[in-house]
């Protein structure tokens, strides 16, 4: 049940309000009274100081000096006033004002005629209402002020009793959540908070409403779901508040939408992470590439030295070998550069898919010829081409990146004496299939899912040189060519990589 008003903080007979410090202030009035029988003098004088919050010590015979003066003045007029009230049987009430030591006081004088058991009495009270009246004014203006603030603020202010009942919720809740106060009080909190935020709120609530721990304050963040299903973040400043006797009455909370701030923080955090990842990738790049460059460069260097220092003593075969080794080392350098260039071009969106009508048989045979010549032990690739149209749509450059890397891996990760099979066939008129089979070291099962990641090299492949970039290039180029790759492998037995490429007319494969 929602009360759209602040909880009633004022106990009857006294005035209580929250002072600006947040501490409850108990205000009230003091009363001096007497009773007079119609035929006698006043008697049964009492003084009650109801300003005290402790009712037992509220009775105080020690009257303040301004009170003594007020009583003097009022008793002077009492004789005639009392007589008039008793005779007319009509109540008399007026305000008596008094200046004392620079302060102004107001006393409410009330005289009631009372008839009982044949006797006529008069009951007279003098109440010091100076402070009370001031406070009534103040409370009036504070209430108005509070409503103005509560109803116009963009943050949400709410008060919840220790029994978890919502006592007040500012109208701004509608802006924050899309629900008004009435609606939100009917929805279980677990429905509008994410599970983490809900358990944080429950924990905080239990902590705040503990009666034994005094006033507590908590600042925390919650993620909530608006009525339009949008998830947003809020910062909550919640504090418990107590009544005059120190008992915790409930919790008030200020709720602020911090989604934009959170999004900015998140953006900053992820760009920082990206920056760190980028710098890690860069340094890995540099160390891998420099490592990949070192071996071929030292091969070239040592062969140049050999030729320079011993050119007149060397026989023709040794000179040819020196040139051949250097040529292969240069080729291997170019291959590394090629991979780096492709990856860089893909990242920058500069590598495009440009299919053209191609004689696939010719393309495959020249690629195989080139690779067969490249290796120390030549002619290890067997090319098997099935029935094929004369021309199909292929991007030659992407094609060559894909199959050079796959075939070189098959050669590199298998024994120099074993053969590699390269099968090319049509799956359907618009779809070409390729399979590369080797009888090499295979890929460990638990590492299979990582081999297409840049720089990843399986634990059993360290003996063979490599950068871990070849399959990343294959993946990038296949994506551009809209092809697919799959593989099967068994350590110690070998691997088969299968590729499917769409090769239909230009319109058929451009998307």
Check residue 124 for interaction with ligand ADP (CB under 6 A): no
Check residue 451 for interaction with ligand ADP (CB under 6 A): yes
Closest distance of CB 264 from ligand ADP, Å: 38
- Select from 47-55, 60-68, 243-251, 402-410 the region that touches ligand ADP (CB under 6 A): 402-410
**CB 302: neighbour CB atoms within 10 A?**
14
In 3-state terms the chain splits into helix, strand, coil percentages (rounded to 5) of 45, 30, 30
Closest distance of CB 433 from ligand ADP, Å: 18
b/e burial code for range 116-154 (CB count within 10 A of at least 16 → b) = eeeebbbbbbbbbbbbbeebeeebeeeeeeeeeebeeee
Check residue 251 for interaction with ligand ADP (CB under 6 A): no
Check residue 475 for interaction with ligand ADP (CB under 6 A): no
Q: What is the largest CA-CA distance in the chain?
A: 155
Closest distance of CB 217 from ligand ADP, Å: 57
For ligand ADP, give the closer residue by CB, 34 or 413: 413
Matching residue, tokens 């294959």? 474
For ligand ADP, give the closer residue by CB, 111 or 339: 339
Check residue 502 for interaction with ligand ADP (CB under 6 A): no
For ligand ADP, give the closer residue by CB, 176 or 410: 410
Residue from 438, 477, 483, 499 binding ligand ADP (CB under 6 A): 438
For ligand ADP, give the closer residue by CB, 250 or 466: 466
For ligand ADP, give the closer residue by CB, 82 or 438: 438
- Select from 68-76, 160-168, 378-386, 403-411 the region that touches ligand ADP (CB under 6 A): 403-411
Check residue 495 for interaction with ligand ADP (CB under 6 A): yes
Distance CA 437, CA 381 (A): 10
* Pairing relationship of beta strands 15-18 and 92-100 according to DSSP bridges: unpaired
Q: What backbone phi and psi angles, to 5 degrees, belong to 475?
A: -60, -45
Check residue 404 for interaction with ligand ADP (CB under 6 A): no
Distance CA 379, CA 422 (A): 12
Check residue 336 for interaction with ligand ADP (CB under 6 A): no
Distance CA 443, CA 457 (A): 10
For ligand ADP, give the closer residue by CB, 85 or 343: 343
Distance CA 205, CA 239 (A): 10
Pull the structure tokens for residue 93. Answer: 């009430």
Check residue 380 for interaction with ligand ADP (CB under 6 A): no
Residue from 443, 501, 503, 509 binding ligand ADP (CB under 6 A): 443
- Select from 124-132, 227-235, 266-274, 456-464 the region that touches ligand ADP (CB under 6 A): 456-464
DSSP per-residue string spanning 458-511:
-GGGTTS---S-HHHHHHHHHHHHT-EEEEEEETTTEEEEEEEEE-S-HHHH--
CA distances from 434 to 113, 360, 483, 509 (A): 116, 11, 11, 18
Of 405-434, binders to ligand ADP (CB under 6 A) are 405, 409-410, 413
For ligand ADP, give the closer residue by CB, 250 or 475: 475
- Interface residues with ligand ADP (CB under 6 A) are 405, 409-410, 413, 438, 440-443, 451, 456-458, 461, 466-472, 495
């Amino acid at each position: 049940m929602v009360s759209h008003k602040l909880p009633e903080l004022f106990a009857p007979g006294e005035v209580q309000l929250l002072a600006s410090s947040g501490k409850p202030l108990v205000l009230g009035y003091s009363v001096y009274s007497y009773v007079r029988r119609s035929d006698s003098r006043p008697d049964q004088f009492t003084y009650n100081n109801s300003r005290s919050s402790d009712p037992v010590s509220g009775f105080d015979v020690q009257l303040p000096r301004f009170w003594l003066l007020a009583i003097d003045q009022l008793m002077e007029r009492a004789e005639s006033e009392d007589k008039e009230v008793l005779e007319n049987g009509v109540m008399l009430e007026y305000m008596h004002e008094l200046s004392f030591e620079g302060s102004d006081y107001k006393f409410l004088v009330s005289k009631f005629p009372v008839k009982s058991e044949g006797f006529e009495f008069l009951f007279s009270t003098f109440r010091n209402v100076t402070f009370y009246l001031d406070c009534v004014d103040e409370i009036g203006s504070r209430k108005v002020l509070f409503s103005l603030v509560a109803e116009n603020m963009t943050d949400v202010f709410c008060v919840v009793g220790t029994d978890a009942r919502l006592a007040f919720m500012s109208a701004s809740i509608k802006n924050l959540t899309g629900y008004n106060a009435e609606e939100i009080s009917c929805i279980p909190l677990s429905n509008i908070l994410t599970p983490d935020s809900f358990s944080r709120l429950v924990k905080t609530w239990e902590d705040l409403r503990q009666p034994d721990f005094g006033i507590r304050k908590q600042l925390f963040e919650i993620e909530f779901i608006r009525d339009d299903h949008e998830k947003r973040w809020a910062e909550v400043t919640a504090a418990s508040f107590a009544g005059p006797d120190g008992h915790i009455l409930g919790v008030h909370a200020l709720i602020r939408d911090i989604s934009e701030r959170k999004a900015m923080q998140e953006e900053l955090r992820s760009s920082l992470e990206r920056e760190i990842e980028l710098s890690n990738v860069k340094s890995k790049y540099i160390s891998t590439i420099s490592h990949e460059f070192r071996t071929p460069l030292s091969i070239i260097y040592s062969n140049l030295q050999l030729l320079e220092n011993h050119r007149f003593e060397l026989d023709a075969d040794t000179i040819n070998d020196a040139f051949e080794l250097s040529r292969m080392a240069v080729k291997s350098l170019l291959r590394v550069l090629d991979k780096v260039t492709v990856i860089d071009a893909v990242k920058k969106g500069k590598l495009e898919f440009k299919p053209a009508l191609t004689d696939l048989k010719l393309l495959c045979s020249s690629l195989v010829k080139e690779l067969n010549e490249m290796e120390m032990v030549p002619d290890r690739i067997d090319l098997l081409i099935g029935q094929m149209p004369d021309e199909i749509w292929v991007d030659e450059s992407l094609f060559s990146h894909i199959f050079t890397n796959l075939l070189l891996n098959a050669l590199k990760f298998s024994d120099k004496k074993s053969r590699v099979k390269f099968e090319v066939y049509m799956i359907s008129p618009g779809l070409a299939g390729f399979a590369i089979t080797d009888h090499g070291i295979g890929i460990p099962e638990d590492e299979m899912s990582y081999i297409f990641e840049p720089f990843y090299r399986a634990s059993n492949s360290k003996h063979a040189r490599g950068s871990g970039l070849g399959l990343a290039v294959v993946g990038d180029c296949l994506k551009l060519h809209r092809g697919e790759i799959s593989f099967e492998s068994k350590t110690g037995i070998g691997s088969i990589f299968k590729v499917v490429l769409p090769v239909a007319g230009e319109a058929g494969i451009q998307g």
